[in-house]
Structure 1
């Protein structure tokens, strides 16, 4: 994840996954389903993926572990908390996912993805609920640099007031993305997938997408 003030909270934040009925568990299952659909539909050949603020990597790693396209995937998961990153790295190794790299570091600088983008799959999960609206808009813009033409972005955002999900969809549309799936308003969380129909913009290597603010939320 990106730079934060309290590492302990972001490690403990994952505890809610132990409850299958929690919002985080249900959101995780939804994100995993979208990733599975992407992999099932992906064209033959190499697949490149990046995960921004990857946490323990459960969204991508749990899907890849049993998927027939696992050998085609080269992925980079960027996570600031070394404890979360260690769990993600251990999970990747245990599953034999040799193409997955877990990087301990700030996920916000664009430079950290330079040699792996434009990617076919960009994950921005647990981010939009923990940054300012301006930074959400900025990050959506950077997705047009990170994502390959025809690639998919999967993102999350809580549906608490003010509900930013409709505006996020508008911002993606303005950047050349088409909405392919959106969770129901009453799901208790927001998960969206967008397909990039434009041409990737030149990477702003010195750019920074966002800065985390406040206490952890189910972003």
Structure 2
């Protein structure tokens, strides 16, 4: 990876930046998803955040929701500095059911012993991988998301005005998801989508070991 992700995260600190605005949309959608996602027989939900960064899109919302008592969260972040920040934030917010792992979210081996989630975030991912990897990742979400589970994702339009988010929306539809919301401000490049998996096969093969779901470019 060539991008300086620590420097990239600094844009969150500018309240009017595109990244800060995107964060507010993701958090708004997550609040909704935490009330509308399915849950188990005990009213608990599992959440997975892929390429979670320092967890600022997820952790404050879990604390606000119910102190994380009914949410078992797994945050996966490859950068050790960012993952440690997320770990420290989770402790500070009193979220004992949150697990932050320093691991490669693009490698299927990372998910071999992880149960599918009721809610999954893949924010800041699709804009950093090839379109082929986007399609492969969405196709493999059946192994990570339960029936009626919700996925929140982000993508930005490119400098030449092309908007790849429309292709991503079509790919979600092709793989059994229905769109719950789509935010595309006219004055910003970011897009935020929320989809529900309504056509999960009755039998889903396990995540194949030793396979790459995506690689950052």
Q: TM-score, normalised by structure 1?
A: 0.90
User: Is the Cα contact below 8 Å between 2:119 and 2:150 reproduced in 1?
Assistant: yes
Report 1:20-169 matches (<5 A).
20-42=15-37, 45-68=43-66, 70-160=68-158, 161-169=161-169
The runs of 5 or more residues in structure 2 that have no matched partner are none
Runs of 4+ with >3 A deviation:
none
Cα distance per residue 1:24-59 (max 9 Å; x no partner): 000000000101001123456110011110000111
C-alpha separation in 1, matches of 2:187 and 2:45: 30
Q: CA deviation at 1:204?
A: 2.2
User: Is the Cα contact below 8 Å between 1:79 and 1:104 reproduced in 2?
Assistant: yes
User: Is the Cα contact below 8 Å between 2:38 and 2:118 reproduced in 1?
Assistant: no
1:211 aligns with 2:209: no
User: Is the Cα contact below 8 Å between 2:112 and 2:207 reproduced in 1?
Assistant: no
Query: How many equivalent residue pairs?
Result: 208
C-alpha separation in 1, matches of 2:77 and 2:27: 18
C-alpha separation in 2, matches of 1:90 and 1:169: 34
Structure 1 partner of 2:180: 180
Gap change, CA 1:30 and 1:144, over 3 Å in 2: same
C-alpha separation in 1, matches of 2:187 and 2:197: 25
Secondary structure, aligned partner of 2:112: helix
User: Is the Cα contact below 8 Å between 1:79 and 1:105 reproduced in 2?
Assistant: yes
User: Is the Cα contact below 8 Å between 1:50 and 1:77 reproduced in 2?
Assistant: yes
Q: CA deviation at 1:114?
A: 3.3
Secondary structure, aligned partner of 2:101: strand
Q: CA deviation at 1:187?
A: 5.2
The runs of 5 or more residues in structure 1 that have no matched partner are 214-219
Secondary structure, aligned partner of 1:59: coil
1:13 aligns with 2:26: no
